[in-house]
Amino acid sequence: MFASKRLSKELSKLHDHLPPGIELIQADDFAEWLMDIRVIDSNPLYQDEVYRLKFSFSQSYPIEAPEVVFVKDATHPIPWHPHVYSNGIICLDLLDRQGWSPVHNVESICVSLQSMLTSNTKKERPPGDEQFVKYNTQRPRDINFVFHDNQV
């Protein structure tokens, strides 16, 4: 109940106004939304690419963080970033249990990810990406990331 109330408010706001480079693709229910983000400055790493984000909300959103991953399909690649695994899982303190705060919202997450990409210059994956992608069965929110870099 709490989650749907809050999400309906966010949704009506997103329909009203969206920051540049962010687009609402699908929000049919209050469980899973799709958003597209795009880097708006001329970072050559991400030029002309659009990335698709999947938000999964639990019943206790916004008290609990939503699960946010990049999804890959024919037109939407996974962006290169030292905190983004090649399966789309994002290692961002904002989305971690410790780092999350209920004052964040879908829009602010999108903006944070957008700026995370904007400021990046390294075309690389996190260390141990292959291993992680191969063996990880945990859901993103249950992974205890060690935040090795605070400059995101």
Partner 1 sequence: MASPSPIPYDRRSSRASSTAGQPASDLLVVGGPPNSPSPLELFLRASNLPSSKTRISKIPPDLHMLEYVSSCDTNLICLICHSPFDKPVKLACDHYFCRDCLDHAFEVQPDGHKTCPTCRGRVDTDTGVLPVPKILEKMLDELVVKCPNTKSGCTWVDSRVNVNDHVMLYCEYTLVECPSHECRLPIFQKEFHKGCLHYTLSCEHCHTSLMKKDLEVGYITQRHQKTHCSNRFTACPHCDAEVLRLDLKVHVNDSCPKMVIPCPGTILGCHFTAERTEVIKHENACPMATMAPHFRDQQARIERNEARFEPLARKVGILEDGLSNITNMLYPANPNDSSFPVTNPLDPNHSDAFPPAPLIPTPDFRLPPASFPPVPPTNDQSQTPFNNPSQPPFDSQVHHLLTLHDSLRDEVSRIANALTDLEGRTNMMIINENQRVKDEMLHTNAAINSMRMQLHWLMSATLHQRTSNSTGTSTARAGGSTSSNSNGNGRAQGASGASTSLGARAEASGTLHAPMRRLSDSTRQDTKL
Report in angstroms the alpha-carbon separations of 110 from 100, 138, 146. 14, 23, 22
- Which residue, 39 or 110, is less far from partner 1 as judged by CB? 110
Note every long-range contact of 16-23, with CB atoms under 8 Å and residues 24 or more positions apart, other chains counting: 18/107, 19/107, 19/110, 19/111, 21/114, 22/107, 22/110, 22/111, 22/114
Site for partner 1 in 43-82 (CB under 8 A): 60, 62-64
Q: How far is the CB of 78 from partner 1 (least distance, A)?
A: 30
User: Active site includes 110?
Assistant: no
- Build a one-symbol-per-residue string for 84-123: x at contacts with partner 1 by CB under 8 A, - elsewhere: -----------------xxx-x------------------
Q: Give the chain's radius of gyration (CA, Å).
A: 15
Using CB under 8 A, which of the segments 6-14, 23-31, 43-51, 115-123 binds partner 1? 6-14
Q: How far is the CB of 61 from partner 1 (least distance, A)?
A: 10
